[in-house]
Chains A and B, each alone.
Chain A
Amino acid sequence: MDEFEDRLRRGLSHYAAAMRVARPPLGDLVSGPAPFARPSQARRRVVAGLALAATAVTVVAAMQLRSTTTEPDEARIDTSPETPQRSAGASPNCPPRTATDGIVATGQIGDGRTWEVQVSGVPPAVRTALRVDGIEVGAGYHDQISWATVVNQGFLMWHLEASTDGVLVSGEVPRSAAWAEVGLADGRAVTLCPTGVPGIEPVAYVGGGISGQVDVAEVAVFDRDGRQLAHARVDQIPVESGEPYGLGFSVQLDRELVPLPLEGDEWPSVDRDEMTVLASGQLPNGEWRLLAGAEEDVVAYTVDLPGSAEVAGSTGTEETLFTGARWHINWVDGRHFVSGLTRADVTTVVVGMDDGSTVEVQTVDGSAVGLEGRLFAMPLPEGAAPTNWDARTADGTVVEGADGVADAFAEVTQPNVGTALPVRAAT
């Protein structure tokens, strides 16, 4: 142990020992009111990190499910594609299925509310969205690194969204999977059939909805011979009780049974120490910095925000960086912060507000760090309500823009919550 580590341990120990702790009797804790007066209204929140792909995946769960009259203990199994009946030990009959529109599962939950799981994008920029009554309640995004953890390392991304209506579950399975099972804490199991999406290899997708208050205990994936290809315990992950929650977790493939394309080669990332600061500025609580760098054929950019665990940014190749969601919205020091990547001919990014005013920022050249594009970052004024967002060339021509701007900004109103918008070419 080096001297500095020793000093750190000693300091932490002294610091902790100086804290006065008053432990209440256990009886008071168990019989008393819940320590947190949890708000009963639905709220937007960020899923507490995806498991092994956490560093590279942005997951935003916007819980907007209204309360229903569903009895808490009345769990109704409701899944789609239809849940095949099967007896213990027998394989369910899941027919091969492909969703050309990306809707890999749909059904009803609660008192007849319609849900669906839709997969879109081109690897590695693959996005999975969960919707209820057409409203997105959760989504997971892959980028180059997180996709590599799926295809190279076999960490499949799964997602739970729970509300008083019930639990929605979606996840990736290998294309060789015949079915998946979601095991409930009460001992029942829900069988889900995989659906492939054209162009997205080597995974397929499952989705299901379970009405009522249920606890998911585990998930498992099987091949047609009944061999378990992947498994994860979910009940070992604490969730906040009594409120809607979203949970991202990974399901590890058995690599003896499922050969992986690159056999564990991890996609290289860009060492943060090798990144260059391209822009910076001051906020009330500290400095923000826009950094970018490249290593071999991998390029990365990121924004450090003061006091925020969430950073905006992306890592990938030139090609994939431009296919993913690349305009980012964060919340810092009581205001929105925007950043992102534009085409190389963009000189100005303009954010328009609902009162007709605009805020603009000059882009900075990314070529010095191996990025054939330009980058931008800026805080917006406090109280700003953006309604449009575009990128312009030196002569003022709008060449890129984003849709759904007002809704996206409305979702990001607290620290450690962020989202990113895909960018379209202006028509």
Chain B
Amino acid sequence: VEDIEPAFEALYVGCYDRMVRLARLTSADTVPADEIVQDAFLQLLRAWPRVENPVAYLRVAVLNGCRSWGRRRSVAARRRGEPPPSWTVLDGDAVAVRDALAVLSPRQRAAVVLRYFEDLPEAEIAAILRCRPGTVKSLLSRSMARLRGALDDG
């Protein structure tokens, strides 16, 4: 730990919680968000000298980790005894949003969270999701339509 740059440690302290929340917002509850985020930080640490934008790198690593987990869990032995995330009492909007997110595809969900939770511009979302900005616009448009329906129904 002594060899780790203070800048990395500061980033870890400052961004860890938000990255876990990003992972949980973009994924199903069964995804082990903490482990994915820890793995992302380890990836970042290994790549630290050459990474220009550590936060952007982390976002991509976290989202890739969530996606990989989705693939992995169907073929690997399921992790047993995974404790569910602990929640405090959610207000009405939070409950509605949580339930509404479930109607979105993983890609739509990621686009919505990156736009409305991380407040990223469409160009940056496109870079993270590796698609064209126009595709992000379309993803968001369709996602919002589905969310409106789900929230209105709720």
Contact = CB atoms under 8 A, between A and B. Distances in A.
B105 A308 contact: yes
B135 A36 contact: no
B97 to A, nearest CB: 3
B35 A36 contact: yes
Interface string B95-120: 11110000001110000110011000
Choose among A12, A30, A238, A417 the residue with the greatest number of B CB atoms under 10 Å from its CB.
Answer: A238
Contacts, number: 173
What interface size band does chain B fall in? 35 or more
A45 B96 CA distance: 34
Choose among A4, A30, A417 the residue with the greatest number of B CB atoms under 10 Å from its CB.
Answer: A30
B51 to A, nearest CB: 7
Contacts of B9: 26
A18 B88 contact: yes
Contact of A9 (B50, B67, B116): B116
Given A15-B90, A16-B25, A415-B71, A35 B132 contact: no
Interface in B1-42: 1, 4, 9, 12-13, 16-17, 20-21, 24-25, 34-36, 38-42
Contacts of A31: 1
Contact of A4 (B57, B64, B148): B148
Interface residues of A, number: 63
Given A35-B35, A35-B39, A51 B130 contact: yes
B90 A8 contact: no
B51 A34 contact: no
B97 A12 contact: yes
A112 interface: no
Interface in A309-334: 309, 331
Interface in A352-389: none
Contacts of A248: 130
B13 A15 contact: no
A43 B42 contact: no
A287 to B, nearest CB: 11
Contacts of B61: 238
Contacts of A238: 40, 43-44, 47, 57, 60-61, 64
Contact of A15 (B25, B36, B57, B134): B25
B93 interface: yes
Given A8-B116, A272-B138, A23 B130 contact: no
Interface in A220-250: 235-241, 248-250
Across chains A and B, which 10 residue pairs bring their CB atoms closest together, nearest first?
A: A11-B97, A14-B94, A11-B93, A238-B61, A414-B74, A15-B94, A16-B21, A309-B106, A35-B35, A27-B1
18 contacts: A5-B144, A14-B94, A15-B98, A18-B88, A19-B85, A21-B21, A23-B12, A23-B17, A24-B38, A26-B12, A26-B13, A29-B41, A36-B35, A235-B50, A248-B130, A272-B142, A307-B105, A417-B71
